[in-house]
Chain A
Amino acid sequence: MRSALSENQRVVISGAGPIASVGIGRKDFLKGLREGRVGIGACERLTDTAGFAEVAECWDFAVEDYLISKKTYLDRCSELALAACALAFADAGLVWSELDGDRIGLCLGTAYGCLEALTNHSARVQTKGLRFGSPMIFTHAMANSPTALAAIEYGIHGPAGTFCAGSISAACALEFAFRRVRAGDADYVLAGGCEALSVALLSGLAGPDKLEPDFVPGEGGCILMLERMDTAAARGAEILAEVASVGLAVATEAKPDAALDAACRQAGLTDKPPVFAAPAYGHTFGASMALGICAAIGGLDSYASGDCVAVMGRSSLSDIHGPAAAIIIRRVT
């Protein structure tokens, strides 16, 4: 067993690839937030929104703008993952083909995975019989297929994983990625989340008592590039923020902030940092905490160097108790 771990390995975010209704790419996304761009509106891509009058759809997103080669088929969730990775590489000033694939990792979170593909496959099975599913669509319906496709696309042979823990999925991915960089298992780890709107998802959420009245479902993706601070500094990368800690814990009535408490302990903070309030671009489920981090990076400008801010989330949409996460980032100048 690894007998020891260096505590001096500071981990930073050196690139971000957000895709959201308010903007695509870090600069456009943050500009959209600052300008108060409206990220909520009528759904254009789906034929049935199960009564949701408004959604946060990535209206301007076209995967063709980001792919290395043309693909026969991609679920929307995989499209978002592939494009978010491309944006993160570019934002970090890294060219994937020039890197050692064994030293790149990929950790992706998604609450529901590729529901559109799964729905298509299952509809065939249920209406025509077991022999009439689609093997091609089935492979694209697996929850790990966005990660697998991104690994194939960018030659990522290092540590990899897909995390499905509801709306803290991206935080789970970031926690694992944070470990990989600190342990020196990879030089660069892409980490974040993706989620796509689909008829099956919206229909499944449309219960009468499950959600708050102003709940707006959304889609999006956000991949962050994590690397060690010393290597980022050595290559002259723009350091967007330091990841101080990622806390995972179960929120209970007695300990509603258990995840933030855990994150503070890990970061060695005695006082809780301010919690960044998520802007109004809909609830993006498995992508939400990664997009939250990206948005918080934009808000760090108003902080002094060394100051921290937290992004919090919980796995369940309907229950305030249960698995929860808190990510603390620190401004580095």
Chain B
Amino acid sequence: MESTLNRVAITGLGAVSPLGVGTNALWEGLLAGRRGLSKLTKFDPTGLRNEKAGQVNDWRFDPAQFSLTQPPDEATQFLLTAAAEAIADAGLEDRLCPAGEPGPNVGAVLATNFGGSSSWESYMSGLLAAQPSPTTFEQFSFDKALATVCATFAIGGPCSQLSMACASGTAAIGYGAELIQSGQADVVLVGGYDSLAPSILSGLSLLRTITDDDLYPFSANRSGTIFGEGSGVLVLESLERARKRDVRCYCEVLGSWQNNNAYHLTAPDAGGAGMARVLRGALQAAELSPDELDHINAHGTGTEYHDVAETEAIKAVLGPAAYDITVVSIKGAISHLMGAAGAIEGIVTALSVFDQIVPPTTNYGEPDPACDLDYVTAGAREQRMEYAGTISAGIGGDNACVVLGRID
């Protein structure tokens, strides 16, 4: 016996990114080719390979807006802000927990690389001074943001949280969609979040993942990435339910896959074999053939080995059709947002499908013969598309891919 799976629509988007607070700031900034990188000011960057970062500037968090007496960890602040926008965008502010009547079964799948990283730094200071603060440790704990989101937005359904390095946010979208497909939830908030902190950037800088120059995705003069912070949240719900509510559906989640290269903690495997497997798996889950894909929002970090591996992976799966699609990295505009990267890129991919336009690979440098796909280097481009994918990869060899489709 087979059960029919629900179709999954994306009905709400929320973002906090280096281009500003709100999805509009992100999307309009990307289409205009704006960059959100700035000198790191939240702590002294002395000793890092690069003092630039994708820092979220000029914003203020009001705990009272979320019925909190104290501000939570900064990463959770980003998350709550993005989640509130996504819920409002989906027209669900008053419907998650309607007074006096049963609401929809709402779940949450979140993702982070480092949890409450600012709180971790404070906790470590206390630990080194023999005065560790359990309260601060609790704010660092990975499950704290999940619990806070559930309590703030009256979420009562299935909840989970992933930590798959920089593939986290993308994996969360795929998993959240599965909860709706199988009928275990009516609505699922999915998203990723992370904030910049000294220990994180120190490690990434010492690994030489961070460039001492600028971030040039898929370019011959690329020499590394630049990291940033923020959060992206998407509201997923069954297409049937969304249509009954008569709300805007940005697009449909068709399939996803997540895996590990099983090769090395920091280096991509030869030919991007792991990324090829994740793209192939997501297409199979979407019941699409490779040549049906129109666009890929790539991971495109600007690191020497990754960008070639990702290009090779796309060519391995799509064959000659790889040259017929657009492949974009938005990291030149907003930097690499770690656990938030995949969720933000999922939002951008959804908007690309909805608006039928792809943002440019901002700050593309010199052409590289090894990276020879159509990276949309001369500004945003209108494009008819039915199907788009977004790929993410991370330290530890984790990969995730989600395939989205246009809704008529």
Q: Which A residues form the contact surface with B (CB < 8 A)?
A: 1-8, 50, 101-102, 106, 111-113, 118-119, 121-123, 125-127, 129-135, 138-145, 147-149, 151-152, 154-167, 169, 172, 175-176, 179, 185, 199-200, 203-207, 210, 247-250, 252, 255, 258, 262, 266, 315-316, 318-319, 321-323
Contacts and interface: CB of A to CB of B under 8 A. Distances in A.
The 6 A-B pairs at the shortest CB distance, nearest first, are namely A204-B137, A138-B203, A207-B134, A166-B143, A130-B47, A148-B396
A159 B175 CA distance: 12
Contacts of B68: none
Interface in B118-145: 120-121, 123-125, 127-128, 132, 134-135, 137-138, 140-143
Contacts of A262: 157-158, 184
Interface in B163-204: 163-165, 171, 175, 178, 181-182, 184, 198-199, 201-204
B123 A323 contact: no
A175 B1 CA distance: 21
A122 B158 CA distance: 34
A147 B141 contact: no
Given A139-B395, A250-B159, A112 B141 contact: yes
B264 interface: yes
B146 interface: yes
Interface string B385-408: 000000000111110000001000
Contacts of B4: 3-4
11 contacts: A5-B2, A111-B141, A122-B121, A123-B128, A130-B48, A152-B397, A164-B161, A200-B124, A210-B134, A262-B158, A323-B143
A292 B206 CA distance: 40
Contacts of B65: none
A125 B155 contact: no
Contact of A133 (B143, B202, B263): B202
A203 B199 contact: no
A167 B144 CA distance: 12
A205 B132 CA distance: 10
A131 B47 contact: yes
Interface residues of B, number: 87
Nearest to B207: A135
A118 B199 contact: yes
A129 B46 contact: yes
A165 B134 contact: no
Interface of B: 1-5, 7-8, 45-48, 107, 112-113, 115, 120-121, 123-125, 127-128, 132, 134-135, 137-138, 140-143, 146-147, 150-151, 155-165, 171, 175, 178, 181-182, 184, 198-199, 201-207, 252-255, 257-266, 274, 277, 281, 285-287, 394-398, 405
Given A1-B181, A8-B1, A126-B198, A164 B159 contact: no
B1 A141 contact: no
A248 B123 CA distance: 30
Contacts of B157: 248-250, 262
Interface centre among A106, A127, A135, A141 (most CB of B within 10 A): A135
B111 to A, nearest CB: 9
Nearest to A8: B1
Nearest to B269: A157
A200 B158 CA distance: 30
Contacts of B286: 1-2
B202 A119 contact: no
Given A131-B48, A159-B281, 8 more contacts: A126-B121, A132-B202, A138-B206, A152-B265, A156-B260, A163-B161, A176-B175, A206-B132
A164 B5 contact: no
B134 A122 contact: no
Contacts of A129: 46-47
A322 B147 contact: yes
B5 A4 contact: yes
A163 B396 CA distance: 14
A323 B147 contact: yes
Contacts of B203: 121, 133-135, 138-139, 141
A2 B199 contact: no
A118 to B, nearest CB: 7
B7 A1 contact: yes
Contacts of B155: 250
A106 B260 CA distance: 9
A75 to B, nearest CB: 12
Given A5-B5, A250-B156, A119 B259 contact: no
Contact of A319 (B47, B147, B274): B147
A267 to B, nearest CB: 13
Contacts of A134: 203, 206
B282 to A, nearest CB: 11
A134 B253 CA distance: 40
Contact of B142 (A111, A121, A126): A111
Nearest to A323: B159
A112 B142 contact: yes
B254 A145 contact: no
A169 B162 CA distance: 9
A144 B48 contact: no
A206 B132 CA distance: 9
A139 B113 CA distance: 12
A177 to B, nearest CB: 12
Given A119-B127, A135-B207, A152-B264, A50 B160 contact: no
A247 B112 CA distance: 22
B216 to A, nearest CB: 23
A299 B47 CA distance: 56
A266 to B, nearest CB: 7
Contacts of B259: 157-160
A5 B178 CA distance: 11
A4 B162 contact: no
Contacts of A179: 178, 182
Contacts of B151: 321-322
